[in-house]
């Protein structure tokens, strides 16, 4: 008997290679030295090494203090073209029955929204959003509790209100992340069972 979910993929925008431009994990290239015998001498290059062009990080100006800060919650911080291509690629795989795409701002662009059969928005109170951000970023070594909470209060919460919270209107289902309600889960499960 065929399993209900033969493949369940979760694409996290932060780690999938198609997510946030500014927070992509950095990797240092390592090379092994190899000696190749040559018969002619070459002169060292006087040209400076070229580095790949980098996109400028989006910035945000705090409305209370005017302070400039990085803005990882604005639409410009997300590689929507990469996300779009990756989702299309995965959806073409005949083995994939259910694909879950998770992340902040995924409902912002209509082109991305049209890829989804069911759009779920997880609604959380501001205190819980801040708490989850602190726990996640401390675990990832992205600063102290004070640094993370300060960044949230000075920058992230304003961008959330401007760009992310309004996308709730595009959701087919809004789940209350502060209060587990089995009815919302039942709606999602019923939809999936009917459509695979």
**Tokens representing 44?**
């060292």
pLDDT single digits (tens) 127-171: 999 999 999 999 999 999 999 999 898 888 988 999 999 999 999
Contacts of 7 (CB under 8 A, 6+ apart): 93, 95, 96, 97, 98
- How much is the mean pLDDT over the chain? 75
17: left (phi over 0), alpha (psi -120 to 50) or beta: left
* CATH code of residue 107: 3.40.50.300
**Tokens representing 63?**
């409305």
At residue 109 the predicted structure's pLDDT band, cuts being 50, 70 and 90, is very high
Looking at residue 67, its pLDDT comes to 84
Q: Kindly tell me if the per-residue pLDDT of 108 is higher than 90.
A: yes
Residue-level length of the chain: 196
Q: Establish if 15 belongs to a structural domain.
A: yes
Q: Kindly tell me if the per-residue pLDDT of 31 is higher than 90.
A: no
Question: Looking at the 3D structure of the chain, how many domains does it have?
Answer: 1
Q: Establish if 1 belongs to a structural domain.
A: no
Q: State the residue range of the domain holding 162.
A: 8-19+56-195
Residue with the bigger pLDDT between 190 and 71: it is 190
Contacts of 107 (CB under 8 A, 6+ apart): 113, 119, 121, 167, 168, 170, 171
**Looking at residues 2-27, what average pLDDT do you find?**
31
Residue with the bigger pLDDT between 2 and 43: it is 43
Q: How far apart are CA 1 and CA 137, in angstroms?
A: 42
Q: Kindly tell me if the per-residue pLDDT of 39 is higher than 90.
A: no
- Looking at the DSSP assignment, which residues form a beta bridge with residue 136? none
Q: Kindly tell me if the per-residue pLDDT of 4 is higher than 90.
A: no
Residue with the bigger pLDDT between 73 and 177: it is 177
Looking at residue 51, its pLDDT comes to 54
**Tokens representing 49?**
């090494």
Q: Establish if 14 belongs to a structural domain.
A: yes
Q: Establish if 51 belongs to a structural domain.
A: no
């Amino acid at each position: 008997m065929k399993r209900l979910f033969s493949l369940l993929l979760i694409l996290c925008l932060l780690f999938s290679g198609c997510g946030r431009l500014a927070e992509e994990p950095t990797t240092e290239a390592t090379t092994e030295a190899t000696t190749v015998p040559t018969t002619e001498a070459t002169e060292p290059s006087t040209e400076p090494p070229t580095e790949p062009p980098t996109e400028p990080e989006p910035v945000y100006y705090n409305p209370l203090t005017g302070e400039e800060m990085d803005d990882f919650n604005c639409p410009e911080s997300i590689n929507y073209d990469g996300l779009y291509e990756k989702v299309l690629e995965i959806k073409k795989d005949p083995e994939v029955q259910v694909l879950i795409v998770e992340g902040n701002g995924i409902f912002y662009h209509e082109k991305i929204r049209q890829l989804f059969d069911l759009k779920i928005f997880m609604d959380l109170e501001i205190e819980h959003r801040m708490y989850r951000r602190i726990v996640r970023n401390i675990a990832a070594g992205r600063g102290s509790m004070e640094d993370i909470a300060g960044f949230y209060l000075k920058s992230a919460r304003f961008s959330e209100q401007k760009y992310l919270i309004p996308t709730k209107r595009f959701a087919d289902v809004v789940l209350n992340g502060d209060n587990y309600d089995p009815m919302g889960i039942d709606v999602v499960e019923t939809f999936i069972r009917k459509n695979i």
